[in-house]
Amino acid sequence: MKIFRIESRVYFSDTDATGRASWKGIFDWAEHGRTEMLRSANPGHLQSELASGDGILTVIKAIDCRKVSDAHLDDKVIVETWMERIQRFSCTLGQRISTERGTVAEFSVKAAFIDRGTKHPVMVPDDFRKALEDDAV
């Protein structure tokens, strides 16, 4: 399984009054991981270009998140994202957010692809499928 990895840091804006990462920060890191993985599957294309004109949008259908521990102000955060399953009109991604102390949160995310104009489901784009299908179950 190919794991796409990005790093970030816990900034003050990611925390609550106690200096621990809030849910907002955790969900933001997960979104950044998914976005960068999708961008890597379409090299040379910006997210805005993929969605322009008659483009295809990626929408989240469901998120299952389990918080395991806390991340604290100034911690280095590692976001790992991988393809678990590609279906005809959707895919399921796995994600893990961690710090040096261990796992902070785990995600299972079901995403679908829709036509920007009609907002109707479309099949998973071939270039996306080809870029990631070797790593999916």
For every residue of 33-82, which 3-state class applies, written as one string? HHHHHHHHHCCCCCHHHHHCCCCEEEEEEEEEEEECCCCECCCEEEEEEE
Q: Give mean pLDDT, residues 76-81.
A: 97
Give how far the C-alpha of residue 91 lies from the chain's centroid of Cα atoms, to the nearest Å. 12
Whether 137 has a pLDDT exceeding 50, the answer reads: no
- Residue 23: name the closest of 62, 66, 79 by CA: 66
Average pLDDT in the 65-78 region?
Answer: 97
pLDDT in tens, 84-136: 999 999 999 999 999 999 999 999 999 998 988 888 999 987 777 777 766 54
State whether CATH 3.10.129.10 applies to domain 4-135.
yes
pTM of the predicted structure, to 2 decimals: 0.85
